Structure 1
Amino acid sequence: MARPPRFDVDQLLDAAVRRAAASGPTGVTMSAVAKDVGAPSGSVYHRFPGRPALLAEVWLRTVAGFQEGYLQALGADVDPQRAARAAARHVIAWSRAHPDEAALLLYGAEDFGRTEWSEEHRCRADLGNQRVYAALAALAAALGVKGPGAAECIALALVELPLASVRRHLRAGQPLPAHAEELAEQCAGALLDGLLAGEIAV
């Protein structure tokens, strides 16, 4: 009977996440990941045909983990305003619970070599993004926010502003403060209130 593999894909990707958080995407190499888990380089190449595949998988797994919880937060309440506030809080809460993954997501797919990814990897990335954009557009419709900039404004309130708070603290090497979720919710709520009152044109 064949022996089970000593090093599985998740172990290797966990090591890649830690490398990316500490050194950025350039620090994620096949040899570095192998060294971090105490595996021969062949074990990494057996699971990933090359560095572009490794970078793609670590990015996609991290994004998928964030997006799963984010979409759940958006759909967790029938009241769209409460759902929106929950989504803003989720960005902070998830980053607090997964600081290494959050540090990784402060980069972009291009930093992880998207141009060298396989078509299958690029399609997976696009599909995940489309699901989030569709959910934000549906939320905008449920809120009654209309206009060419509606989806962008909703994304600013529920994604970009909370991420800006995460970025400021993580890049400074500081933990997220205890009030970060509340602040993200208040900022998102203020922007949404301005949209709904017609004080912000979209």
Structure 2
Amino acid sequence: MARPPRFDTPQLLDAAVRLAAEAGPSGVTMSAVAAAVGAPSGSLYHRFTGRSALLAEVWLRTVEGFQEGYFEALESRDDPRAGGRAAARHIVSWSRTHPAEAALLLYGAQEFGRDDWSDEHLLRAEEGNMQVRAAVAALAGALGMHGRPGLDRVTLAVIDLPLSVVRRHLRGGTPLPAHAEDLAERCTDALLAGD
């Protein structure tokens, strides 16, 4: 009977997230992740074909974990404005409860080596991006905001604005204020209310 692995993939990816939050993408190397968990380097090469695969998995797992709750918040309400408000709150509250992951996402996929990702990783990333674009477009349509100006307004309301509430604190290493979710929700609601 085979012995279960001592270091599993989620454990290795968790260590990579911590390294990325502390030192940025350049701090995520195969040897650094192995050292962080006390694993031999072979444990990483057994799971990832190389550093580009490790970086892709760190990025995609983090984005997909965030997006799961984001889409649930955005699409779970009968009232589209309520869904938009819930999505804005989700961005702030997820960032509060996942500060290392949120700090990682400030960098962007390019800084996590997107140019060297496999076709499979690129497809996963594009599917997630398409789902975001479709959800924002659906919300704009449900609110009667049409054309590029409407899409831009909804994007600002449910993505850019809530991110701006958390970005300064994440970059500065300061805790989010207790009222951050309420602030993001109120600002998002004002934009979604229309003219």
| TM-score, with length taken from structure 2 | 0.98
CA distance in 1, matches of 2:41, 2:72: 38
- 1:44 equivalent to 2:64? Answer no
Question: What CA deviation, in whole Å up to 9, does each residue of 1:55-98 have, x standing for no partner?
Answer: 00000000000000000001111000111111111000111110
- 1:187 equivalent to 2:171? Answer no
Alpha-carbon offset, residue 152 of structure 1: 2.4
> RMSD over aligned Cα, in angstroms?
0.8
Q: Secondary structure at the match of 2:173?
A: coil
For these two proteins, the number of residue pairs brought into alignment is: 195
Q: Note the residue ranges of structure 2 that are not aligned, 5 or more in a row.
A: none
Q: Structure 2: which amino acid aligns with 1:168?
A: R
Question: What CA deviation, in whole Å up to 9, does each residue of 1:155-184 have, x standing for no partner?
Answer: 111111111121100111101110000000
Q: Secondary structure at the match of 1:7?
A: coil
CA distance in 1, matches of 2:164, 2:51: 29
CA distance in 2, matches of 1:145, 1:94: 27
Question: What CA deviation, in whole Å up to 9, does each residue of 1:124-163 have, x standing for no partner?
Answer: 0000111111011101100000122322221111111111
Q: Secondary structure at the match of 1:190?
A: helix
- Partner of residue 140, structure 2: 140
- 1:70 equivalent to 2:73? Answer no
Equivalence map 1:50-129=2 (5 Å): 50-129=50-129
Question: What CA deviation, in whole Å up to 9, does each residue of 1:23-57 have, x standing for no partner?
Answer: 00000000000000000001011100100000000
Equivalence map 1:150-189=2 (5 Å): 150-189=150-189
Alpha-carbon offset, residue 185 of structure 1: 0.6
Q: Secondary structure at the match of 2:76?
A: coil
CA distance in 2, matches of 1:149, 1:29: 42
- Partner of residue 2, structure 1: 2
Q: Structure 1: which amino acid aligns with 2:12?
A: L
Q: Which runs of 4+ in 1 moved over 6 A?
A: none
Q: Note the residue ranges of structure 1 that are not aligned, 5 or more in a row.
A: 198-202
Identity among equivalent pairs (%): 67
- 1:15 equivalent to 2:15? Answer yes
